[in-house]
């Protein structure tokens, strides 16, 4: 036992580092490379530098675990080697390495991998430079990993960690604002784009996320909201980035859908001349509710949440669990000083804004559709813009219109959204089947088609609601209501063709 323990005893040597004694201790089982790194570090020499070690007489000392020990009175010195000192042996070694590398390059296509790694490294270095390795970025990485785990789990079919079960134990770590100046480029919108943004015909598919962020930023400036609420423009950028980062990559309920709804709201404000009829506070509530209305949507609707007894359903007692969650995430983001676009608003005004946003987001629960529309119908014939209850009801109907307004858009813009929605429906119904939960026929891939999915929704939900709004704003008939009627006719024709094909078969 004595010899065994002594063989593991550490070894000590003493160095002369800038005239001071530096003790270095290492295991006798360290590799020469490990010892060289230790010596470099102890002598304030960059790692991976070629070095040699000499004794007080200038004799070379081998750098390995068997090197002779010394004392503080007989110090070794570590000397970095210049390129010239490496000599012919290193040149020969480098030549051999080059030949080996060339062989590996041909065998395993390392050059392609090297290019990819170099590019990714450059991106990471840029990110490190811009973000400064701040805590928020570390949290973002954790959130990215969590999202990836959620997606992998959802593909596996297990319900225990289904992605719609938001983990409240994170205490807000999902929200990842940027504390520095955001790095998405500033786009100068052309006059053509500025005008197109005000219309329901705007094509939302031609824009990258950074461009959509710039468009949303422009809307807030154009409507006078930045000036009215004394928003810090940098805070507005950070807030928009935090919003984007807290929309998941669902087929339908994603950041592009958020932009769609917000752009339609902006368009309706202009089309209906709401700036002349409502206050700037109302404008701020309408736009901010539109931007936040589906934050952190998990891709599985309220019916699934309630039937599967998810954490959201339990938390909100089966009462609009998703919409309550969207509100909670929205104000969780606004609670961060660096993202609070309403930081310069007095307390009473903020209470009014907060209540208004909550009311509108909760109104997007389609389970309340009949109740909200009936209430508006009772007011529309004698509508009073000075009546707070009337105005609140109008705002609820406006956000509902914008939320489900895809069919108002041109066919080539609207139809891809149907495919996205059906894909999300099918993901849910497949999960419900695997978990033994009830499946809605309109979400079942074995029972629904695009025409059957759309005809009833357009005829009995969209057209009646938009025609009711048309009583108050007749100008929307040509640009919003008529496209809905055309879309209904389009899908009815498709259904007739499908029925004829089925009959022939």
Q: What CATH number does the domain containing 51 carry?
A: 3.10.20
Whether 309 and 347 map to the same domain: the answer is yes
Closest to 289 measured CA to CA, from 338, 339, 243: 243
Whether 72 and 105 map to the same domain: the answer is no
Whether 119 and 228 map to the same domain: the answer is no
For residue 349, is it within any domain? yes
- Across the chain, mean pLDDT equals 86
Look at 73 and 47; give whichever has higher pLDDT.
73
Full residue range of the structural domain in which residue 118 is found = 101-137
Whether 40 and 111 map to the same domain: the answer is no
Whole-number Å distance between alpha carbons of 301 and 171: 23
Whole-number Å distance between alpha carbons of 251 and 420: 5
Whether 203 and 106 map to the same domain: the answer is no
Counted domains in the chain? 3
390 CB-near residues (< 8 Å, 6+ apart): 379, 383, 384
Which residues line the annotated binding site for AMP? Answer: 253-257, 294, 403, 454
Look at 109 and 468; give whichever has higher pLDDT.
468
Whether 380 and 492 map to the same domain: the answer is yes
CA dihedral 96, 97, 103, 107 (to 10 degrees): 160
8 A C-beta contact, residue 360 and residue 323: no
Q: What does pTM read for this prediction?
A: 0.67
pLDDT (tens digit, 9 = 90+) per residue, 168-180? 434 444 565 544 5
Would you tell me how many other CB atoms lie within 10 Å of the CB of residue 26? 16
Whether 60 and 204 map to the same domain: the answer is no
For residue 151, is it within any domain? no
Whether 258 and 368 map to the same domain: the answer is yes
Whether 439 and 349 map to the same domain: the answer is yes
Which residues line the annotated binding site for Zn(2+)? Answer: 257, 293-294, 403
For residue 108, is it within any domain? yes
Whether 105 and 60 map to the same domain: the answer is no
Whether 109 and 43 map to the same domain: the answer is no
Which residues line the annotated binding site? Answer: 253-257, 293-294, 403, 454
41 has a pLDDT exceeding 60: yes
Provide the pLDDT for residue 137. 52
pLDDT (tens digit, 9 = 90+) per residue, 306-359? 999 999 999 999 999 999 999 999 999 999 999 999 999 999 999 999 999 999
Which positions are annotated as active-site residues? 253
């Amino acid at each position: 036992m004595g010899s065994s323990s002594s063989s593991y005893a550490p070894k000590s040597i003493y160095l002369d580092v800038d005239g001071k004694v530096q003790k270095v201790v290492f295991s006798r089982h360290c590799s020469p490379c490990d010892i060289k790194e230790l010596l470099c570090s102890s002598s304030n020499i960059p790692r991976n530098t070629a070095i040699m070690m000499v004794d007080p007489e200038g004799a070379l000392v081998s750098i390995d675990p068997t090197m002779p020990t010394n004392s503080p009175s007989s110090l070794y010195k570590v000397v970095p080697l210049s390129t010239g000192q490496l000599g012919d042996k290193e040149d020969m070694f480098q030549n051999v390495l080059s030949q080996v590398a060339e062989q590996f390059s041909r065998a395993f296509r390392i050059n392609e991998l090297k290019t990819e790694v170099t590019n990714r490294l450059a991106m990471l270095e840029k990110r490190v430079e811009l973000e400064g390795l701040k805590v928020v970025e570390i949290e973002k990485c954790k959130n990215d990993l969590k999202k990836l785990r959620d997606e992998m789990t959802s593909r596996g079919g297990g319900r225990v960690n289904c992605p719609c079960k938001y983990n409240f134990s994170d205490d807000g770590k999902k929200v990842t604002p940027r504390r520095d100046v955001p790095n998405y480029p500033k786009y100068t919108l052309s006059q053509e784009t500025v005008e197109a943004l005000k219309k329901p015909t705007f094509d939302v598919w031609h824009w990258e996320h950074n461009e959509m962020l710039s468009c949303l930023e422009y809307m807030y400036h154009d409507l006078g909201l930045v000036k009215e609420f004394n928003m810090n423009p940098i805070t507005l950028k950070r807030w928009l980035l935090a919003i984007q980062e807290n929309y998941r990559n669902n087929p339908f309920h994603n950041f592009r859908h958020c932009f769609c709804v917000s752009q339609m709201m902006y368009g309706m404000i202009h089309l209906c001349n709401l700036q002349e009829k409502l206050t700037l506070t109302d404008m701020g509530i309408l736009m901010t509710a539109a931007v936040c209305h589906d934050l952190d949507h998990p891709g599985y609707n309220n019916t699934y949440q309630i039937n599967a007894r998810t954490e959201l359903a339990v938390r909100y007692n089966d009462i609009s669990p998703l919409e309550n969650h969207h509100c909670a995430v929205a104000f969780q983001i606004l609670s961060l000083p660096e993202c609070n676009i309403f930081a310069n608003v007095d307390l009473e005004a903020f209470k009014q804004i907060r209540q208004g946003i909550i009311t509108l987001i909760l109104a997007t629960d389609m389970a309340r559709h009949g109740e909200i529309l009936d209430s508006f119908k009772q007011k529309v014939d004698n509508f009073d813009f000075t009546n707070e209850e009337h105005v609140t009801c109008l705002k609820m109907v406006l956000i509902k219109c914008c939320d489900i307004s895809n069919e108002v858009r041109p066919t080539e813009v609207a139809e891809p959204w149907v495919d996205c929605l059906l894909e999300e429906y099918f993901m849910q119904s497949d999960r419900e089947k695997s978990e033994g939960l009830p499946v809605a026929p309109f979400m079942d891939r074995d029972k629904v088609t695009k025409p059957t999915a759309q005809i009833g929704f357009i005829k009995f939900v969209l057209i009646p609601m938009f025609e009711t709004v048309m009583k108050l704003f007749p100008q929307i008939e040509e640009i919003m209501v008529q496209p809905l009627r055309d879309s209904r006719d389009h899908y009815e024709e498709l259904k007739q063709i499908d029925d004829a094909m089925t009959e022939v078969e």
